[in-house]
A and B are shown apart, each in its own frame.
Chain A
C-alpha cells in the first residue's frame, strides 16, 4: 500500500499498469493475497470518499456565493502595495457579454480625438504633455496614466462619478487601471475602443499614424472598433464585437482597412516582472526534456507554445537562459534540438523532426 504506483494502478488503471501488476503476481504468487487485500482496502477508501460527494447543484450554488462575495467587496490583503498596484495587477476579468455603449451622431470614416471628445456630456479636463519625457496623470478613481510626449488625454471633471470611466486619448499612454467592476474603464483612441475593468496596458494612437496599437501588460483587455464608424461593410463582426487580449499580446488596428489583428508584443516581458510579487523562474536547464523547457518558457511569459510532445520526447537540452530575451531563448532552444519556431496569431508554434537517442 505504500507504493505510489500500486495505488495509481488501483485508482486509475491503464493497460501498462494492468500488465505490470499481472506479471508481478505471476512472478511472486505468494504476494497475491496481500495485494488482493490491499487493493480491496484502497477501493473501499475510494468508495467512502466518493460516497461523501455532494451534488453538482451544491457545487454550483457554493461557487455562486463565492462569486457574489468576490465581486461585491474589494481585496483587503497585500497592504504592502500602493492601492492602484493591487488593483492594476488584479484584473483578468472575463469580459463576456460586453456591450459597447456608444452614441451615434453623424457617421464618419476616421474618428479623431476631437470627435471622440464630443460624445462626453460632462465638462472635460485636458492634460497635454509638451515636454520630452512621459509624465504621470493620476485620476480620481486611483488609476494612473503615463502620458507620452506629444500626447494628450481628456476626461470628465467628475471622473469617478458616472457609471463608467471614460478617457479620450491622442498619442500614446500607458494605463494602470484601478479595478472597479461596477464602472468599466474605456479608452477612446481614434477608431479603437478599449474596455477594461482593471489592468495595465498601453495605447498608441497618434492621429497621423496608420495603425492604432494596444499592448497588454497585465490582466485582460477587450478592444473593438468604435461603433461610430460609418463604413460598416468593411468591418467584420469580429472587429465590432471586439477581441480579448491577454498579457504580452497586442492588437493592431489598421485604420485604412479596419482590420484588427492580434499578435504578440515585440519584446514579451516575464509575467513576474509585471506583478508586484516576483515569481522566480529558473531558466537553468541541465539535460532537461524539451517539453519541460517549453513549459517553463510558456509559464514565465504566459504565452501559448504549441509543439508535438511526442516528436520532441527524446530531445534533451542543457543551457542557462536566464538573461536572454524571449526570442533569443527560443532561438537557442530550437537550434539545439534542430527545430524552428514561428509566431502565429498570439501563439508560438514549434516544428521539427525531433531527436533520436
Chain B
C-alpha cells in the first residue's frame, strides 16, 4: 500500500485538510503502538482503547485548528498519556500514585547472583532480562522505552512525562546503570557457555 511510504507528516497534513483516508492510515499506523504504550500506564485495555478512540475523534473534530505537528508520534503518545492519567484521576478508586513511586529501588525477588547461581538455559536468560525490565521503576522503564524503542529525544521525553529534560536523562541513565550491572552478569554467563 502506498500509505506505508507516506511520512507521518504528510498523513498528518492530509488529515488536517480533511482526508479520511489519511486519517485512517494514521490511526492504523499507530494503534498498536498506542495500545501497548497505554497499557503500561494503566493495564485496563478497555480503558486504553477508549482513550485512543477519544483521542482520534478529537483529532478529526478539531483538525482545522490543529497545527503542523513537529512529531506526530510525540503528539499522539503524549496526548494519550495525558488522557489516561486524566481518566484515572477522575476515577479516584483506581488511582495509584503512579507518579510518586520511589525511583531508587529495583524490586529484588531474585538477585542477579541467585538468578545465575544455577546454570541457566539460553532462552531463560532472555526471559530474565525481560523480568528485570519489568521490575524497573515504572518511570525509568517508560523513559527507557521512549528513548530507545520509540526514538524520542530527551526534550520530547520530558514533554511526554511532564518533567525536566535533565530529569528525563537521569531516569534513562539510572535505568541503564541498573541494567548494565545486571546484564554484565548475564554476558559473563553467556561467555562462560561459549568458552
Chain A residues with CB under 8 Å of chain B are 1, 4, 7, 33, 36-37, 40-42, 44-54, 58-59, 62-63, 65-66, 69-70, 73, 75-78, 80-81, 86, 89-94, 218-219, 271, 275-277, 279, 299, 302
Contact B183 A53 (CB under 8 A): no
Residue of B nearest to A45 (CB): B149
Which residues of chain B are within 8 angstroms of A73 by Cβ–Cβ distance? Answer: 61
Contact B49 A44 (CB under 8 A): no
Contact A52 B36 (CB under 8 A): yes
Q: CB-defined interface of B57-71 with A at 8 Å, one 1/0 digit per residue?
A: 100111111001000
Which residues of chain B are within 8 angstroms of A53 by Cβ–Cβ distance? Answer: 32, 35-36
Contact A37 B183 (CB under 8 A): yes
For the complex, give the distance between the alpha carbons of A7 and B20 in Å.
Answer: 33
List 29 interface pairs A-B (beta carbons < 8 Å), by A numbering.
A7-B148, A36-B187, A37-B183, A41-B179, A42-B149, A44-B133, A48-B134, A48-B145, A52-B37, A54-B32, A58-B35, A58-B45, A59-B28, A59-B32, A63-B24, A63-B31, A65-B53, A70-B60, A75-B61, A75-B62, A75-B64, A77-B61, A86-B64, A90-B18, A92-B18, A94-B20, A219-B18, A275-B64, A279-B68
Interface SS, A side? helix
For the complex, give the distance between the alpha carbons of A53 and B190 in Å.
Answer: 30
Q: Does B19 contact A (CB under 8 A)?
A: yes
Contact A45 B144 (CB under 8 A): yes
Which residues of chain A are within 8 angstroms of B36 by Cβ–Cβ distance? Answer: 49-54
Return the contact of B64 from the options A33, A37, A89 (Cβ within 8 A). Answer: A89
For the complex, give the distance between the alpha carbons of A271 and B17 in Å.
Answer: 9
Known: A37-B180, A41-B129, A70-B57. A49 touches B149 (CB 8 A): yes
Which residues of chain B are within 8 angstroms of A93 by Cβ–Cβ distance? Answer: 20
Contact A42 B148 (CB under 8 A): yes
For the complex, give the distance between the alpha carbons of A285 and B130 in Å.
Answer: 48
Known: A49-B149, A75-B64. A89 touches B18 (CB 8 A): yes
For the complex, give the distance between the alpha carbons of A308 and B100 in Å.
Answer: 55
Q: Indicate the size class of the contact surface on chain B.
A: 35 or more
Which residues of chain A are within 8 angstroms of B21 by Cβ–Cβ distance? Answer: 92, 94
Q: Does B126 contact A (CB under 8 A)?
A: yes
Within 8 A of A (CB), among B1-60: 10, 13, 16-21, 24, 27-28, 31-33, 35-37, 39-40, 45, 49, 52-53, 56-57, 60
Known: A58-B49, A70-B61, A78-B64. A91 touches B151 (CB 8 A): no
Which residues of chain B are within 8 angstroms of A279 by Cβ–Cβ distance? Answer: 13, 68
Q: Does B184 contact A (CB under 8 A)?
A: yes
Contact B65 A77 (CB under 8 A): yes
